[in-house]
Amino acid sequence: MTKRITLADFLAAETQGQSNAAALSALTLSIADACVDIAALVRHGELAGVLGAAGQENVQGEEQKKLDIIANDVFIDKTQASGQLAGIASEEMDNHHPIPEGVARGNYLITVDPLDGSSNIDVNGATGTIFSVLPYAKESPPDDADFLQAGNQQVLAGYCLYSSATMLVLTFGHGVAGFTLDLDQGEFVLSHPAMQVPAQSREFSINAAYAAHWHAPIKRYIDECVQGDAGPRGENFNMRWAGSMVGDVHRILCRGGVFLYPSDARMEKAGKTGKLRLMYEASPMGWLMEQASGKAHTGAQNILEVIPTSLHQRVPVMMGSASEIDRLMEYHST
């Protein structure tokens, strides 16, 4: 029988010998704790009375679901109690949440999308939590500008997928590890060690409803896939779109493919470059992809090199199997 490795066991080995081992482990376990609580709310659905709209919008003008707000509160309560955070920025809050007086402050900042894909909640579809941990060295409390660090500064990134099983997927910069929640024991157990994105794949993920507005490089890439074995790729492709970045990226980590949420002419007319947010969607997912031997790009730049100019900045996103992202980058440069 293979040895059962819990998240706590994994953290002890992963952080061994590091001066910040205890801090990073405590913070990671608090994130896992928050995800266990959010998973329980998601799992109980209508019975927990948490479905439906909250009747207000977030800073980005998107309708908030009740569970968006509850998940945000749970995540803040659990992670700040670790004593390792200096501040928390979230999709659901205009500005960062400062650690209250009387609660210990630490040397990390966290950015989070507490319930990604929340339009899936009411239809019992996959959702997730995405998080990114950044270093913070100052003594004084941070301001929003302190969060504006490029993705290549992250010390921990990951997501929790709430689907048929609850899975926590993490990187500290030494590969990607996936854990499945053991509901009987209430703990995450290593189930997917050393996750690797297959270098090649014949599967793509994009919301094709926006095809009329795509720019030429995306149009060319998808057109060539859709032509199948009669087209220039000479092979048939498959398409999947979960409406949840966590669900789509998880599938790609498991079996390859590309996830695309490009900017398009209609968005740009409305003053937006893409939909997904750099600091708590694109950067953490981009680092996971790279750590699993995949790639993540905006079309102009490696996602991890984009220096944020605001907490809720949006970026075009292309990530997944290395050879397909290389091809997309080539199409963007010609």
Q: Kindly state the DSSP code that residue 282 receives in the 8-state scheme.
A: I
Q: Give min distance, CB of 26 to ligand AHM, in A.
A: 27
For residue 61, give every residue at least 6 positions away whose Cβ sits within 8 Å of its Cβ, in sequence order, or none. none
Q: What region, left, alpha or beta, does residue 92 occupy, with left being phi > 0 and alpha being psi -120 to 50 degrees?
A: alpha
CB of 151 to Mg ion, least distance (A): 18
Q: State which residue, 245 or 253, has the beta carbon closest to ligand AHM.
A: 245
Please choose which of Mg ion, ligand AHM, none residue 207 contacts, taking the beta carbon within 5 to 8 angstroms, the exact cut-off set by kind.
Answer: ligand AHM
3-state DSSP assignment of residue 113: strand
Q: 159-197 burial, b for 16+ CB within 10 Å, e for fewer?
A: bbbbbeebbbbbbbeebbbbbebeeeeebbbbeeeebeb
Of residues 85 and 115, the one with the C-beta less far from ligand AHM: 115
Choose from ligand AHM, Mg ion, none: what does 176 bind? Cβ within 5-8 Å by kind. none
Shortest Å, Cβ 232 to ligand AHM:
27
User: Closest approach of Cβ 118 to ligand AHM, in Å?
Assistant: 5
> Which of 34, 80, 96, 113 touches Mg ion by CB under 5 A?
113
Q: Which does 154 bind (CB under 5 to 8 A by kind): Mg ion, ligand AHM, none?
A: none
From 160, 154, 168, 174, select the one nearest 279 (Cα to Cα).
Answer: 154
Contact residues toward ligand AHM (CB under 6 A) are 62, 91, 113, 116-118, 207, 243-245, 261, 275
Distance of CA 39 to the CA centre of its chain: 16
Q: Rounded to the nearest whole angstrom, what is the least distance from the CB of residue 88 to ligand AHM in the complex?
A: 16
Token pair listed for 28: 């990671």
Q: Which amino acid is at 253?
A: L
DSSP string, 172-187: SSS-EEEEEEETTTTE
Residue 245's binding partner among ligand AHM, Mg ion, none (Cβ under 5 to 8 angstroms by kind) is ligand AHM
Residue 203 as a binder of Mg ion (CB under 5 A): the answer is no
The token duo for 11 is: 């953290």
- Least Cα distance to 42 among 78, 76, 66 occurs for 66
Helix, coil or strand: residue 94: coil
- Return the number of the residue (188 or 280) whose C-beta is nearest ligand AHM: 280
> Out of Mg ion, ligand AHM, none, which partner does residue 231 contact, by CB within 5 to 8 A per kind?
none
Return the number of the residue (114 or 217) whose C-beta is nearest ligand AHM.
Answer: 114
Measure CA 59 to chain center. Answer: 19
Asked if 109 and 142 touch (Cβ cutoff 8 Å), the reply is yes
Contacts to Mg ion from residues 90-109, by CB under 5 A: 91
146 binds, among Mg ion, ligand AHM, none (CB under 5 to 8 A by kind): none
Which one of ligand AHM, Mg ion, none is in contact with 62 (Cβ closer than 5 to 8 A by kind)?
A: ligand AHM
Segment lying near Mg ion (by CB under 5 A), choices 88-96, 101-109, 185-193, 267-275 = 88-96
User: Which residues are at the interface with Mg ion (CB under 5 A)?
Assistant: 91, 113, 116
